[in-house]
Chain A
Amino acid sequence: MAINLKVNGVSSSVPAEPDTPLLYVLRNDLELNGAKFGCGLAQCGACTVLIDGKATPSCVTPISAVAASEITTIEGLGSIANPHPLQTAFIEEQAAQCGYCTNGMIMAAKELLDRNPQPNEADVRAALASNLCRCGTHNRIIRAVLRAARTNGRT
């Protein structure tokens, strides 16, 4: 089987069964490191990507369900040379310890800022409620999202 997927604006044909979770195709076929395997159960948020703009756990999303969708991963937001304001803010706030949850935090925050460009702290906490962090960098992550919101407002 091969299925066509549009990821970060680029269409690719991937040789996977239709029920394959999107996460494995992103990581192994498209060689995108951003989305992480955390639980395979949609409980932790580490694998979050945007499907047509909506933050979605890629670990339980079969590729057959997203063949007609725009899929955005953290690689699609920006790069080290040309970072998205959220990526810049996470660096400036040093908002990581191990950084394994960071992908999911940024992607969930992206969806939040797209629908609510000026969130308050409670909005940020609520938007990231299903993304787990184990190192205890919660406060830095919240500050980074609020910083990105301020930056977005200026540009």
Chain B
Amino acid sequence: MNAPAFNRRQFTAGFGALVVAFSLDSKLALGQERLPGSLQNNRRLDGWIRINADGTATVFTGKVELGQGILTTLKQIVAEELDLPLGRIRLISGDTGQTPDEGQTAGSQSVENSGTALRLAGAEVRAILLDLAAKRLGVSAEQLAVADGVIAAPDGRQMSYGDLVTDLELNREASAKVAPKPPAKYKIVGKSVARSDIPAKVTGGMSFVQDIRLPGTLHGRVVRPPRYGSTLDGVDEGAVRAMPGIVTVVRDGSFLGVIAEREEQAIKAREALRKSAKWTLGPELPDPARLFDVLKSLPSKDATIGVKQGSVPADARRFEAVYTKPYMSHASIGPSCAVAEFKDGKVTVWTHSQGVFPLRAELAKTLKLPPAAIRCVHIEGSGCYGHNGADDVAADAALLARAVPGRPVRLQWMRDDEFGWEPYGPAMMMRAKAALGSDGKIADWEYEVWSNSHSTRPQSTNGTNVLAAWYLAEPQKMGPPTSPPQPAGGGDRNAIPLYEFPSQRVIHHFVQDMPIRVSALRTLGAYANVFALESFMDELAAAAGGDPVAFRLAHMKDPRARAVIEAVAKKAAWKEGEKGDGTRGRGIGFAKYKNLACYVAVVAEVEVDRGNGTVRVPRTWAAVDSGLIINPDGLINQIEGGIVQSVSWTLKEEVRFDPGGILTRDWASYPILTMPESPAVEIELINRPGERPLGAGEGSQGPAVAAVANAFAHATGKRIRDLPLHPERVKAALG
């Protein structure tokens, strides 16, 4: 093999062998001074950084690599503050046996939380090292120079970080009082450092949890019911046990799985179990034709947010529009996978979960084990884009492995497991109303959004939040779903306009009952809210006889928002008042993600085939302000990936179901954007070294959907308010 082989020894030390000194309980922090970022709940310096005798540093983060390049970015931040070359930093991420608990890697918050902690911890550790060196060298710390982990006195005497470890005591609370470097002195931050994981990924190296190959590994598969809430009445276990290579069939209530010596044997046994299983079916799903009526009819918790009281002129013209977004799948290319091994009453789970500590808490409930007996170790999986099957498959693998102590069980879901059982991004409905004054400006704005929860992740509610637990002989239940509060919000994320309207109200109807399983999909509610809000802005601009760019600027004071709108208009050579020609057009969309992260404006060009109803997006442009830029190419990769993914969501994606169950089971029933269909993307970055870095992993999806929807309306003169813009809908709109 070309790449470093998976080394079991590196994972065997995690149960108590290391003394992990940071606080795992946020309650312990009560009464203490608030520390920035993730230092708040993980206050010990050596929980983040240790200096080794060979002059290298071992750095710990609770955040995990999801394909977004975060580990490279975090390494840059800590290398910069420590004055160490990137090559001398070993980063350990997401391991309940070794790293800080930073919850979920989600919401574009890794740079803000883990990055802040590592920046401050790095600056402090460097200062401690300098103090030690100053004492040894008999000079003041201010006289010392540092480069690449070597400290030099004015007289030329030198000392490496490794020389100081015998006196170095980092088992102490971070003060967060040492000022990090000013951006003007950055040598590593701000550079497009190449991702360290890519060489293995292009040569067949060990890169993914799917690639873990422990000695004696068995292969598991699970059999899920025909639809949610079904109970297993019977199954012919004996016939399956007699099949070649079958080690055992595992049944616990309605949870059903199989373990085999070989993977293909497990797959055949799964099929045999599926055919012989008899189920009492759970409740029917809603009729998709009435979905939004059903959602609106369910009880909701209503919150009024973003209120501005202003007088509305009596002669203002009133407008109203309703927009919808369907259920969407994470649709990871690789189905979720985990490896689990029980040994001496303890279990280790290798997982691509976005949060190893929250997962451990759910496994403790599911397996009825103390958390200390469970170790969850993050290894990358296929990109997840939110809460997909990662946590569920980890629970499945642990339940199977419990039946064969001493043997690791590798379980990868089949394609239909992933599409049929992952928690989808929720369907949403948005109703916007506005009044337009005689001055051509918006005088009043009223907006309502109906949505299920956007997070049923592990530990997001009480109860147990992994799929298998709900089907055990002693079933455990999920607690009532919750919604993250404003300003970040869940279904109401980005529901409050950033524009200056004299009078406005936003109402979030949070619908707790979930007829279809849902959770976090990249951007939560922001994709749908920005689609609705920015589509309505264009509708109002047209009613006011204004150009979309000029109309937005006329309602926008925030200078950073104005800057990205103006920059993308310039980059795309936007022509004020340009008309669509029936098949081709352009549109713009803007958002400040979560109203507190990066600013992104996108212009999209569409081509509409009026005969077959196909919409193409050949080109897009974007302007981005995410504050201080850590890694420009990494930022571009995230923003352009977000645009392409959003174009896919917008043109094609919709989970299919009927009352009998989920119909989306494969790529034929859930097509996504293909290589010939993907748009060109040109991006302009606005670097602001004086501003803090802002999360960007989810910044472009909202602006992109709005740009495409507005471009369609610009091209054809017809507005589509229901996603996706698939051919039947386009043909219906064009009559």
Contacts and interface: CB of A to CB of B under 8 A. Distances in A.
Contacts of B197: 99
Interface of B: 1-3, 66-69, 194-195, 197-208, 210-211, 213, 219, 244, 262-264, 267, 331-335, 380-383, 385, 412, 414-415, 633, 637-638, 640-645, 648, 666-668, 672-676, 678, 680-681
Interface in A75-102: 75, 77-81, 83, 86-87, 90-91, 94-102
B333 A74 contact: no
Interface of A: 16-17, 20-21, 24, 27-28, 31-34, 36-41, 43-44, 46, 73-75, 77-81, 83, 86-87, 90-91, 94-103, 106, 122, 124-126, 128-142
B202 A126 contact: no
A83 B202 contact: yes
A97 B69 contact: yes
Contacts of B208: 33, 36, 100
A39 B681 contact: no
Contacts of A125: 675-676, 678
B292 to A, nearest CB: 27
A135 B67 contact: yes
Across the A-B interface, the 10 shortest Cβ-Cβ residue pairs:
A98-B67, A136-B644, A34-B204, A136-B641, A98-B383, A99-B201, A79-B2, A138-B678, A100-B382, A43-B667
Given A41-B667, A75-B204, A129-B675, 14 more contacts: A28-B219, A33-B206, A75-B203, A79-B203, A80-B3, A91-B202, A98-B67, A99-B67, A100-B334, A100-B382, A134-B331, A134-B333, A134-B383, A139-B678
A79 to B, nearest CB: 4
Contacts of B674: 129-130, 132
Contact of A36 (B267, B334, B641, B666): B334
Nearest to B217: A28
A101 B208 CA distance: 12
Contacts of B202: 74, 83, 86-87, 90-91, 96, 99, 102, 106
B637 A75 contact: no
A2 B675 CA distance: 39
B331 A97 contact: no
| Interface core residue of A128, A135, A141 (most chain B CB under 10 Å) | A135
Contacts of B213: 28, 31
B263 A28 contact: yes
Contacts of A100: 67, 208, 332-334, 381-383
Contacts of B672: 132, 134
14 contacts: A33-B211, A36-B382, A39-B415, A87-B203, A91-B194, A98-B381, A98-B383, A99-B201, A100-B334, A129-B676, A132-B672, A134-B645, A135-B67, A136-B678
Contacts of A80: 2-3, 199-200, 203, 205
Nearest to B384: A98
Contacts of A126: 675-676
A97 B645 CA distance: 12
A17 B637 CA distance: 43
B75 to A, nearest CB: 15
A31 B1 CA distance: 8
A94 B198 CA distance: 7
Contacts of B645: 134-136
Contacts of B207: 33, 99
A131 B675 contact: yes
Given A21-B264, A43-B666, A75-B203, A142 B675 contact: yes
A138 B204 contact: no
B660 to A, nearest CB: 22
A54 B262 CA distance: 27
